[in-house]
Structure 1
């Protein structure tokens, strides 16, 4: 199990429509690699760039090399599984990282004006 958080473009969906929208999105229906941050919006790309400086990706571009992990062993515990869609970034963190992930996610969401759904925390939504 993981600690899951979703960042999304605020204009993509209303709070009322969110459950149905998320049900469709979580089927990963878009015709692209979900490891490619270039498919998403500019705000979410910037959000992702900053987020992956602290929580590097497990897959796709930017995965730490074996040498980088040997030089900074704590990187391995912070590696995160991301899925990137055209209007969202889904992050699955290790539970040991939940507190820091929540803090960093909140700070960056405010900075880049993206909405957040606290998937592992009963799905509440915070908008800019």
Structure 2
């Protein structure tokens, strides 16, 4: 079981909840034509959020992948053009939410908890 969060580009996301949920569903279809493990194609704000996040919650895959896959902080990131989806170990849920929220404020990106 995982604890999932999605960081997103505030400018790209609809403000209305119903429209946002449709946009979220489209984003998580993962149909963009690029590698979803590499942050090279995302906005500067999302890339900065990602780089801060991986200093605490290292990625399972991609160019910054950790060697220590047994560490509970190891996180599975899916990197879209306007979103980053992160699946954290459930044991790290509280720390992950606090860390992701702090970095979202720092880098002015949105944060969405799909479990709510």
Per the normalisation by structure 2, the TM-score is 0.93
Q: Which has the higher helix share?
A: 1
Q: Write out aligned runs for 1:48-67 (5 A).
A: 48-65=50-67
- Which of 1 and 2 has greater Rg? 1
In the other structure, the counterpart of 1:21 is 23
Count of aligned residue pairs for this structure pair: 114
1:41 to 17, 30, 43: 43
For residue 83 of structure 1, report the CA deviation from its aligned partner. Answer: 0.3
Counterpart-to-counterpart distance in 2, 1:50 and 1:23: 26
1:89 to 68, 73, 84: 84
Are residues 1:77 and 2:72 paired?
Answer: yes
Counterpart-to-counterpart distance in 2, 1:48 and 1:5: 12
Q: RMSD of the alignment, in Å?
A: 1.3
Per the normalisation by structure 1, the TM-score is 0.85
In the other structure, the counterpart of 1:4 is 4
Unmatched runs of 5 consecutive residues or more in structure 1: 123-128
Unmatched runs of 5 consecutive residues or more in structure 2: none
Deviations 1:76-121 (A, max 9, x none): 110000000111110000100000000000100000000011112x
